[in-house]
Structure 1
Amino acid sequence: MLSNAAVKAARPRSRAYKMFDERGLFLFVAPTGLRAWRMRYRIGGREKLLSLGQWPDLQLVDARTSAEEARGLIAQGVDPSSRANLHVQIRTFESVAREWHAHQRDRWTDRHADDVIGSLESNVFSDIGPLPIGAIGAPAVLQVLRDVEARGSIETARRIRQRISAVFAFAIAEGLVDHDPAAVVGKALRPSPPPRRQPALVSIDEARALLLACDLAGGPPIVRLASRFLALTAVRMGALLGARWDEFEQLDGDAPTWRIPAARMKIARAKKDDASHDHLVPLSPQAVALLKAVRAFEYEYSIVFPIHPAAIGALYKRAGFAGRHVPHGWRASFSTILNEQFPLERGAIDMALAHVPADRSKVERAYNRSEMLDQRRSLFDRWGAMLNT
């Protein structure tokens, strides 16, 4: 590749000569002293020559940009040397990526959609965003991903590769390009690190010991109650922190239940507006008693547990369980302990955690809509009694 110093130092000779840059771009130096940027390319099976401009009016960086724009036209089957084609819009990677993102937007949750476009804006657009999508090759994509890997973000690099590949798949479907350079770079990336399990207590004695230690660890009572309610219901932290009083049904009745709206569940966006996908959590007597204790505080919030997201984790550290258990670990505790004690009730345990058993066929998932509510209520009652300290 050429450098600015080499271009500036080029001197005329008795015969014209060329100084090559990359992918067909070169500097033509004439005996008269003329220095002009030109590019060789092929289109329709014919080799052609494109004049881009003269140096120093057109500097090296600008010549490369013009060449990339020309390659983008060529990738779209447009001859850049024809004046009639100067109006053709160059489709850059960023413009196509944003179009793809808008096309997919309705299928995603707000959080996922923001994560996708944010990862492209932070890691991709500054490097290959302005380039014509048809002019981007595998080496350029690989360099973007290796820059991400160099920061230690191995798994992030792999996710970004998938997203870049999805953009190219969209471009192929739109007739903008004919191949996906991101598809071939996966094996050139560093392997994913082994998954790390979040620490969780998997014996009932340890679970009871943690709850007792939390009661003795001090701090705001509402945090200790939130921790115990999380243990009793085995829901995700997001569900706990977003819990509202109007989501609880029959607290004084025979079938007390927490109805978590589908909009707050970890499910596909298309299901979030459908109340049939609400998640029902049968409440044990211990969970009901705890809610009534919280309500006795008489604070004016619609949110049941107005606490900081990190408050429960901090409580576990004060209780001496740092590195042994995290708030999300209650789901693993619930599943492990109950599956060991009641192995024939695996289906109800999975349903209680809002999990779809992996061994269920797609047909069964579509037509078997049993919620096993009675079995789940029995499980939560037994679980509450087991945790009672």
Structure 2
Amino acid sequence: MGKLNDATCRGAKPKESLYRLPDGHGLSLEVRPSGSKAWLLYYRPQGGKPSYKTLGAYPAMGLAAARDAAMALRVGVKAGHDPRGPQAAEDGSDRFSTVAKLWFEANRDSWVPAHAARVWNRIEADALPDLGDKGMGQITPQDVLAVLRKVEARGAIDVTKRLRQSVQAVFTYAVASGLANGNPAVGLNAALRKTPKARSFGFIPPEQLPWFLHRLHASKVRESTKLALLFVLHTACRSEELRGATWGEIQRDRWLIPGVRMKMDRDHQIPLTPQSKALLKRMKALAKGERLADLSYNAMHSALRKITGEAWRDPSGKPATVHGFRSTFRTAATDSELWRDEAIERALAHVEKNKVKASYNRSLYWDERVRMAHWWSDYLDAAEAKGRADAEKHSLDDLLSQ
């Protein structure tokens, strides 16, 4: 049993200099002054000097996944494989085509057959022709981008996005197996065309969250309404899900919403973070009955308009809406490149029509959703702190200019 737990990993704060939290068997969590965290494994290859291997970034790679990756790498080292500087193997065992097939076979049982077929067909049709014969250590970000550009040129923007995710997943598998040192598919979203999305609800762009959160806390809106808006923002729930919620739905680490109250008519559960639990505690102190928030739809939207100002509009020209908080979350989560699209959609309760697949995915994505919920609450905390700092700076600048 390792020394670390999820709470310790989440709560590790940056210091002036880099430091590491040991888990055992050579695995440690490195915490950098910038606040970023990464998993490192200390190992000694046969006949070589001790070395460190970066396994992945936290929280994208959780504690359990890091332990699995460390075990896989230790097994490889024991078998005589040195993870450093992979070269193209003479037997072709580290070719992209070979590793992609291994990754696919390792995951196909977790997918319904139709999805598995689509995943492999994309790789076979668009990735293997250019990458298939190359060793994993020989493939550069430019190689991957060139493949994606060809798909993009066909106008298949969604296919481009999903292919990049699959290639990234193949390399994540390769890194954990000691067949690659890095992942050339990470960070390529910035170079790709965005999928045009028609938004029916006004939303607050993530980069404007510091401004919005400062205005929310400084506003004269009722405290119970502020707490309700913050809870919706932290949980990415629909406003009607909160307005109909009772205290009996709140469990120790999750909010269980019965299907009768859900848009898709299926039970839904939302991870509770320390921040959302703190909001619930404050809401409970103000509550007068069994409901979490005794608010109407109009009351929440009226309060939001007061906070943003009647003249404020989002990039598409729409005023802010409470439902738009979900778009704010989705945009930030997608742009971070830390989370799978399926986990993001599951967090938003956008479930599959296939009942068997939907039931399976409820548990399949839960651990990732828990990590994502903590990441999102921390993201909002950082935005709130920036909003306060920006406001203080402007106040000081105004004072000095007088």
Q: TM-score, normalised by structure 2?
A: 0.41
Max Rg structure: 1
The structure with higher relative contact order (CA 8 Å, sep 6+) is 2
Q: TM-score, normalised by structure 1?
A: 0.43
